[in-house]
Structure 1
Amino acid sequence: MRLFFSILAGGLFGAGLHLSGMTDTTKVQGWLDVFGQWDPTLAFVMGGAILPMILAWQLTRGRKPLSGGDFPAPPRHEIGHRLVLGSVLFGMGWGLAGLCPGPSVASLSYGGAGGLVFLAAMLLGMGAAPAIGARIDRIAEAS
């Protein structure tokens, strides 16, 4: 049952990314080009994701998922060096490639070497992140 809901949620997420234009790298880069030919339409996509999530956090408090396990805890509100550095790197990659993790996986369904290269680089970065994060923590503690 859990696998079914996972596949259903992933499929809906991928379809939503495709329909909203989040898998179109030129549309994403247009959204990020605030001082040029700015395309504000993705603001509605983000708002359409953030607002229901706020409601979902409220409705799931104290409840259990139908498929078992637990709902994830709400995110922490602390801002540290890892969050700032990770956000900067994520934003740079998003701006340069026009893709982030979800859309990069969804874009594999219609081909293109760019999506494969991005996905490979993303997986490499995810694999290297624990070691790099530990090194950054040591540097931050020493300062």
Structure 2
Amino acid sequence: MSGVGVKTAAGYIAGLLFGLGLAISGMTDPARVLGFLDIAGAWDPTLMFVLGGAVVTTFIGFRLVFARGKPLFAGGFQLPSKQELDAKLLGGAALFGIGWGLSGYCPGPAIASVGGLTMPLFAMLVAMGAGWFLARELSP
């Protein structure tokens, strides 16, 4: 298998593990996310524990990966160089949060839920696709 094929296979395996993690943790159910946001009602802390587990896993994983010096399937790491906050970043984060709060889906769980497509999920996916298209068109 060529280097590109191994890299692609690794990407698919990582995506599969991510999707399985979302499904097992219940994060493909928008009611979980909306329950987390309902702090004055029937609050559901599940999302907090899933995010906490992701932060711990990432914290350990980054240290292990960076200790290698370079990735397994690439010549070097591709890390963002921009470190300042700007209006585009803050605006995008705000739109993401508003969309997540209104729909109960963020992009990962939305795509993982496509097998059980509902009208609200379809509307969210269309809006997400339109947002990607508009962002690409409006970017310099």
User: CA RMSD, aligned part only?
Assistant: 2.0
Which residue of 2 is the match for residue 8 of structure 1?
13
Taking structure 1 as the reference length, what is the TM-score of the superposition? 0.82
CA 1:90 to 1:75, structure 2 compared with 1: closer, same or farther past 3 Å? farther
Contact 1:31/1:38 (8 A) holds in 2? yes
Following superposition, which runs of at least 4 residues in structure 1 exceed 6 angstroms of deviation?
A: none
Unaligned 5+ residue runs, structure 2?
Answer: 1-5
CA 1:36 to 1:8, structure 2 compared with 1: closer, same or farther past 3 Å? same
Distance (whole Å) between structure 2 residues aligned to residue 85 and residue 97 of structure 1? 18
* Partner of residue 90 from structure 1, selected from 68, 78, 96: 96
Count of paired positions: 134
Is residue 51 from structure 1 mapped to residue 56 from structure 2 by the alignment?
yes
Which residue of 2 is the match for residue 140 of structure 1?
none
Give, in angstroms, the shift of residue 71 of structure 1.
3.0
Contact 1:60/1:71 (8 A) holds in 2? no
Which residue of 1 is the match for residue 125 of structure 2?
119
Please, which moves more after superposition, 70-79 or 84-93? 70-79
Distance (whole Å) between structure 1 residues aligned to residue 103 and residue 97 of structure 2? 10
CA 1:76 to 1:44, structure 2 compared with 1: closer, same or farther past 3 Å? farther
Identity, in percent, stands at: 42
Contact 1:57/1:74 (8 A) holds in 2? no
